[in-house]
Structure 1
Amino acid sequence: MEQFITIIIMAVIGAVIGGVTNHLAIKMLFHPYEAKYLFRKRIPFTPGLIPKRRDELAVQLGKTVVDHLLTPESLKRKLKDPAFHQILLRMANDGLEKVFTTKQTLAEVLDAIGIKEAQDKTKNAVRKLVEKKYIEFMTSKSGESLSSLLTEGTKQKVDQVIPVIAKQICEKAVEYFESEEGKRRLERMIDDFLMKKGMLGNMIQMFLGNTKVIDKVQPEIIKFFKHEGTSELFESLIEKEWKKLQEKTVDEAEEFIGRETMLEGIQSIVDRTISVDTLFAKPVSELVAPAHSYVQKVVPVVVEKAGDFLVERIDSLMSQLKLEDIVREQVESFSVERIEELILGISKREFKMITYLGALLGGIIGVVQGVIALFIA
């Protein structure tokens, strides 16, 4: 019985020594974090193995990731995987569906992603672009006649419109002078004319007697504008002015009208054609709705082409990314406490098993020693 107790005691002592030794060895991987000194001499095994070799660990981790984990070949296989292709396609479709169904306006979306005052900036950009294009056009066409800038179709359309304009002038003139407003205006003009003529004006009024001059003049003016010859006269005058206008150069036209006036006119046309305020007030879904069916057809092709593009350039891309340096710098930025947490988080169970294994081996060695000691005794 005494011999059995001796063996048990030696086994327990061996197990404790083995377990504590392994536990201490594991702790010495991380602790102490810094070198310790005694009488200005560094104590052996300080700092711990990992704090001491942290820089080397960072370099080796970087090489391991690049050489064995995130290799170009592994990424190419993943990019070519049909299942991964379907995941990318689904993500793209989900993202686009949100765009096609959103109720947010263009202004709200741009503001949400950090693009401030986009509406005002767009207006200014359009104005600057119009001004730039106008100056470029005027510079390139300097010295050319207006006629050379117009197409034959445009000239024919203007020629066809001139008779219509002449006829409308006569019709509007008749309509105006037949109205009470036109009659009063004409009467004031006649009175002013006669007053300026002095004695001649008085003689005309005396000659007409009680009949007002307006009653004589108004019917004649109306008759004048109703006459076919008047319309032909206006048509002839407009045609002459139209021909003179075509003979003018671009520079003469700009000088006559004024650059600012022309720019304002063009800007006004652009503003009516492209209303920036209306554009930014519309929901994004409404703006992109016409392209919905087209985008649905194109997305699979774009995703496939993007995958092929990445596969072809993955070697160069990874070389440019310098993943090895990224991993190294990231590990170097970790504190020793953080590295300890990461390693223990992954291998805590294994470290415990190592401790238990040390205790088991120590116990077995203790039993063997006890048996040997008994035989020797």
Structure 2
Amino acid sequence: MNVVVVVIMMVLVGALIGGVTNSLAIKMLFRPYRAYFIGKWRVPFTPGLIPKRRGELAEQLGKLVVNHLLTAEGLQKKLQDKLFLNEITEWVQREVTKLVSSEETLVNVLEKWFGITNGKEKARAGLERWLNKKLNVMVEEIRPLQLEEVVPKGVNEAVDKYIPQLTHLILEKVKNYFNSPEGIDQLANMVDRFLLAKGTFGNMITMFLGNERLVDKIQPEIIKMLNDEGTHQLIEDFLTKEWRKVKKLRVTDLEEYMDVNEVMSFLQEKIMDHVPFTKLDKPLKEWSLIIEQPLINEVVPLAVNKVGQAVSSELVTLLTKLKLEDVVREQVEQFSVSRLEDMVLSISRRELKLITYLGALLGGLIGLFQGIFIIFLS
């Protein structure tokens, strides 16, 4: 009977020693949180393993995250995944739909999201400054240029092609005028003034013609001259020659006849008049009807795809600049040891208890073998 009691006692002692030893070893991973000293002598095993090696742990966790978890290759693969892109696209489309269908005005959006107050006035003032700057730059650039370099090529070609038609139009207008009573009267007045200015010579011509008017003889000849192909060619050549001269003029030469800055101011004013600033005060849903479907169905998917490609191509650079390893290390170093302990225990509490029970079991088995060994020796 005494032998059985001894064996049982040895099993219990072995189990207690094994369980307590394992439990103490687990606790010594974290505790004590700080070092204890007796005089200048530091008590062994203080602080615990993790508090003592927290710096190394933080550094290794940083390397683990960068080298094995958040790798550029893994993130690139995720960004290029069609399912992920579809999910992001659908989310952005939903958010854009909510925005463009809302009662908020663009002014409110600018103020809420970007902190821009008086958005309407600032937008107008900013556009005016931008336009003024761009137009001034444009004026300085075109001043030394010839007119044919400033006017679009299509306009130059159109004017060249239009000159024959313009010649025909001018001749037709002149013929119609001289065939009209008003034109004949005007021509008669001109002839009378001409003869009157010639004095005696003019009176002689009048006496020679008798009751016939000189204008009745001149007017048909003028019409005949205007119908002549040579006249048409003469005027066409003249207009072509003059147009070529005009095209060779520099913008600076035109400033003698008009104020270029005044023209640019006029253009700026007209552009500003056609910019819908009044809609900035209206709800987004009222002025976004035209662009809503193209924006959601075309612009958003394209933008998501382009942003994904841009981020993917620059991911290595971005991760390098973010210095994730340092971020993780700094965050872990800022954790209190008690928080680290809670994090580890929250994940592995069950396993750590099993380790404690396993220690007790092994200790009990060792005590059992010791008891049996003692029995055989005795």
Give the TM interval when normalised to the shorter protein.
0.5 to 0.7
2 CA distance for matches of 1:294 and 1:33? 61
Q: Which residue number in structure 2 is paired with residue 80 of structure 1?
A: 80
2 CA distance for matches of 1:47 and 1:80? 47
1:47 CA displacement:
1.0
* Structure 2: unaligned runs, 5 residues or longer: 160-252
1:133 CA displacement:
4.5
Match for 1:345: what amino acid?
S
1 CA distance for matches of 2:113 and 2:318? 28
Q: Aligned pair in 2 of structure 1 residues 375, 330: CA closer, same or farther (>3 Å)?
A: same
2 CA distance for matches of 1:71 and 1:125? 43
Q: Aligned pair in 2 of structure 1 residues 314, 253: CA closer, same or farther (>3 Å)?
A: closer
Deviations 1:284-313 (A, max 9, x none): 233333223323034334434444444444
2 CA distance for matches of 1:323 and 1:149? 54
1:275 CA displacement:
4.5
Moved more, 14-23 or 329-338: 329-338
Deviations 1:100-145 (A, max 9, x none): 322211011111113222223213213323443454466567799x
Q: Which residue number in structure 1 is paired with residue 101 of structure 2?
A: 101
Q: Which residue number in structure 2 is paired with residue 43 of structure 1?
A: 43
Over the matched positions of the two proteins, sequence identity in percent amounts to: 40
- Count, aligned residues: 284
1 CA distance for matches of 2:74 and 2:372? 56
Match for 2:9: what amino acid?
I
Match for 1:272: what amino acid?
D
Segments of 4+ moved more than 6 angstroms: 141-144, 148-154, 261-267
2 CA distance for matches of 1:312 and 1:294? 27
2 CA distance for matches of 1:52 and 1:351? 21
TM-score by length of 1: 0.64
SS in 1 for 2:104: coil
SS in 2 for 1:96: helix
Q: Which residue number in structure 1 is paired with residue 377 of structure 2?
A: 376
Contact 1:138 1:250 in 2 (8 A): no
2 CA distance for matches of 1:26 and 1:329? 26
1 CA distance for matches of 2:282 and 2:40? 76
What is the Cα-based RMSD across aligned positions, in Å? Answer: 3.7
* Structure 1: unaligned runs, 5 residues or longer: 155-247
Deviations 1:171-227 (A, max 9, x none): xxxxxxxxxxxxxxxxxxxxxxxxxxxxxxxxxxxxxxxxxxxxxxxxxxxxxxxxx
1 CA distance for matches of 2:362 and 2:122? 77
Q: Which residue number in structure 2 is paired with residue 319 of structure 1?
A: 320
1:355 CA displacement:
1.1
Deviations 1:45-88 (A, max 9, x none): 11111111111111111111222222233223323333323222
Task: Tell me if 1:90 matches 2:90.
Answer: yes
Contact 1:10 1:370 in 2 (8 A): yes
Q: Which residue number in structure 1 is paired with residue 348 of structure 2?
A: 347
Q: Which residue number in structure 2 is paired with residue 24 of structure 1?
A: 24
Contact 1:105 1:284 in 2 (8 A): yes
Q: Which residue number in structure 2 is paired with residue 273 of structure 1?
A: 274
Q: Aligned pair in 2 of structure 1 residues 305, 111: CA closer, same or farther (>3 Å)?
A: closer
TM-score by length of 2: 0.63
1:31 CA displacement:
1.1
1 CA distance for matches of 2:256 and 2:22? 96
For residues 274-293 of structure 1, the aligned pairs below 5 Å read: 274-276=275-277, 278-293=278-293
